[in-house]
Structure 1
């Protein structure tokens, strides 16, 4: 039983546990003599959706978000809606998303679609006369509904999160350049008596995570420097030397979001310049 939909769902799962649970869920359907095999399948897929969402929304991070309200009114508990919100936008407030990224109504509609999918997943988990000893014809029909609902559930979370990521890229690039242009690692210092940083050219950005208070960005690029051996006086006397060269760099930065992107605080976690080719 390896349909296209099953294969697509497997690509959406994040951890080995989720993949193993999905495979085990499908195995329930093969137990022809078990009158609750479909219920076991439905329950397992519902639990898979729960683990999938929990994996994207760690308790400690959700509870740190400024928008967290404890909707359940139970100490330490997080509602499904709050988990969905974190999985999509991390600690970004609705106001921030609406004013800086995309109309919040678009996100709200996506969240509703996700919750509707969960309702479908819940539909067949309870055992009663109508859902006991389901016929093979109905098993096939209901299984398709459940798999479609889970696939839409996972895809909608991922796609909506990516909408926010994609909208942030252009805005974050300027912030990164502004705050990190004159950051340079000690690895350049050992190459020459003096050096000047001429330009930093980021070539690749990856927003790896939006957490409760920060965004984590991984960046690759090229740093252009002027290296000088000897003093300026040595250069004038033609006993010094200088050259212009470039090195690749990798940088991890944390962007602490405030009310607007312009107010963001950028912290350079590390700025590593690869000078290995210099010694070859």
Structure 2
């Protein structure tokens, strides 16, 4: 959905903080409610649109079955066993990552982060339910309410996004060197097909990204360059001058996982590492005759 349909600068800023089409439609609905200045229920419709946005975002980012498996989760006696908005926000930020791992490995104090999240959640909650207390009919009061709820929503989503990025960036930096060592084996299928023998010379991991954090697992993707020595013929052949050895590098991508409480204990994903040898194989392929 084009942001041009959303004209209010505050709602444009809010739309930039969400990714899914449903959320953008809810924000567009808020824009329509805001534009309907002759409607005495303008504030109520505006609050409904933002409430739909918040509830959808939290539920989609924090599935109940995953959230309730987190080691930090405690049922709230006041919600009949349903997760609270704050708990959903916690999961959206750090999944099942426990406080001890966040502090000891990443140097992040989740308690401080959670206090700020709770404040943003409470502010958001007060605003989305404010028109339920009375009808806000005066346009000047509606405009003031719109400013309050727009800013509360921006603060709410900015907090979730900012904290999530901080945790993911710290994770990627922390496991970089360990990940580089963990997935370099003596034989990689794609390279194995290029020469009689090969060995891994060096590996550069350019980028590590956190793909997801669920109740018990962090999933990563990595990309970089692998340097290999390709050898044709045996060592004996080479001593006789009949073999050949060259150095070559190839880009690679791989995916791997780690438990949320053991970030250096890696597991390979179901997909094997992918080494892109197309440039080499294309160069070696004989030219096709016309």
Q: Note the residue ranges of structure 2 that are not aligned, 5 or more in a row.
A: 1-5, 283-290
1:241 aligned onto 2:252? no
TM superposition score normalised by structure 1: 0.90
Partner of 2:117: 111
User: How many Å separate the matches in 2 of 1:75 and 1:94?
Assistant: 25
Q: Which of 83, 94, 98 in structure 2 is aligned with 1:78?
A: 83
2:250–2:277 contact (8 Å) kept in structure 1: yes
Q: 1:62 to 1:133 in 2, by over 3 A?
A: closer
Partner of 1:56: 61
Q: Which moved more, 1:238-247 or 1:113-122?
A: 113-122
Q: 1:233 to 1:110 in 2, by over 3 A?
A: same
- 4+ runs of 1 displaced by more than 6 Å? 73-76
Partner of 2:279: 277
User: How many Å separate the matches in 2 of 1:184 and 1:246?
Assistant: 15
User: How many Å separate the matches in 2 of 1:20 and 1:199?
Assistant: 48
Note the alpha carbon deviations across 1:195-245, whole angstroms, 9 max, x for none: 111122111111122221111111110011111111111111111111111
Note the alpha carbon deviations across 1:82-108, whole angstroms, 9 max, x for none: 211101111101222222221233212
User: How many Å separate the matches in 2 of 1:197 and 1:103?
Assistant: 39
1:231 aligned onto 2:237? no
Q: Which of 44, 51, 75 in structure 2 is aligned with 1:46?
A: 51
Partner of 2:285: none
User: How many Å separate the matches in 2 of 1:103 and 1:69?
Assistant: 19
1:257–1:265 contact (8 Å) kept in structure 2: no
2:99–2:109 contact (8 Å) kept in structure 1: no
Q: Which of 31, 35, 46 in structure 2 is aligned with 1:30?
A: 35
1:63 deviates by: 2.4
User: How many Å separate the matches in 2 of 1:48 and 1:266?
Assistant: 36
Which runs of structure 2 are paired with 1:116-195 in the superposition (5 Å)? 116-128=122-134, 132-182=135-185, 184-195=187-198
1:57 deviates by: 1.2
User: How many Å separate the matches in 1 of 2:235 and 2:52?
Assistant: 70
Q: Secondary structure at the match of 1:64?
A: coil
1:65–1:213 contact (8 Å) kept in structure 2: yes
1:39–1:127 contact (8 Å) kept in structure 2: no
Q: Which moved more, 1:134-143 or 1:159-168?
A: 159-168
Q: Note the residue ranges of structure 1 that are not aligned, 5 or more in a row.
A: none
1:110–1:160 contact (8 Å) kept in structure 2: no
1:127 deviates by: 4.8
Q: How many residues align?
A: 275
2:62–2:92 contact (8 Å) kept in structure 1: yes
User: How many Å separate the matches in 2 of 1:177 and 1:196?
Assistant: 16
Note the alpha carbon deviations across 1:142-177, whole angstroms, 9 max, x for none: 100000000000000110111211222221112202
TM superposition score normalised by structure 2: 0.87
Q: Secondary structure at the match of 2:272?
A: strand
Q: Which moved more, 1:146-155 or 1:191-200?
A: 191-200
2:128–2:149 contact (8 Å) kept in structure 1: no
Q: How large is the RMSD of aligned CA atoms in angstroms?
A: 2.1
